[in-house]
A and B are shown apart, each in its own frame.
Chain A
């Protein structure tokens, strides 16, 4: 048989198609030359002339350096990437390559880089809950020390004392030295549908049913009552009584329980004791009565939540509330702003009420006395890995994003506040009205909330406990059994990790 007569010989054309295709594709995908001018230039924060000369002068030796950073792709980060980084480059000649990616990816990559000491990243996003792990492993540069050592790099305009109390989470507890410059901060608050709560007819129906006046819940009994009522009332209206952030398989459900529900029942620090014990008989409170009551309450609210609750992370919970599918719920503060103000994303613009989360008896008093807390103060900062090879340029950059001049615009664009003064800005005041007082709450009640407990084993322990919470959600385990088993597993893990003796 000769090659030419082979039946497949004709099909050879397919081969010639490949390069042609590739070229077509490349042509399609290539950007038009010079099509994207530095758009953000117009939004550049106006800085006084004197400061400009400081940045330019201090950055002189580092001109042309590229620093690289990584963060989660959030509105505050995207603002940094799109606005602040180009502005900084323009002033200093230091280029900022800023990688924004998903939440788990940014952790993984930053940790790999710092653990291996490769020095890929010159600044990394530090979420509040991971800082203690990073500090334990000496991943981060001491910024206070570095500013002292290199006064020529210290901006006259950068002042640690201008920050809100949130910056305390990024200090080494023993020395008070700062390791991260906060770039976002929120609290997880109780939100409710103001329009429904204020509706006379709804109020009447509620009064008839329960004998009480309809107002935002301050206790869990009231919360459950309101949830029951609205679930019943909203049966044919696509409305449910509460949101529950109860996805299984994703840490979001673990966080809602341990950072919001459990503390407001009086179980702090995940129920882990000072000497790192979890179960009650070893001195912890993870499977104590309060924790069990809290889990029972929370899982019990699933019946009042829309069907997507068990697939809901913080994203979907916010989306659910924004779609007008829940009468009340716990929502991370960074979402409150857009839910209350952005009509392209939310159906409940202008109908959102914000209040302190409901609490069990005595918890508010404990929080005020500084012995406890009622919910989660979340946020993140940028820090410089010890392995970075461009620490000086990165230090300038961190001061740049920490200076007062850039704060108001940034806050208005992405609902985050890290400076005390920012609260007074007119733009923020306007947002405050739109959200019915979220920013006032953040300012005045912020200290009642707290960040994650100072564990150097945050993610490790979370992964051990979380499956039991998942099983409580699906009903595979009763809340009581789930916490008993979780406490046992947590104790074993803490011994294995070498923290508990």
Chain B
């Protein structure tokens, strides 16, 4: 096997399970959606939605890199 990209290989990061790249993208998307929904329900009256977007994107990067 000559994988060009190592990230598709399963690995153990700070997430409790072994993940590969797809898993981490999937988890990021799930969290992104969840944050937005909860934000709209509970926080949007106080803070605009784009804060949620930035927050979840940051989180996504963290997960993709170190998850």
Touch test A–B (CB under 8 Å): no
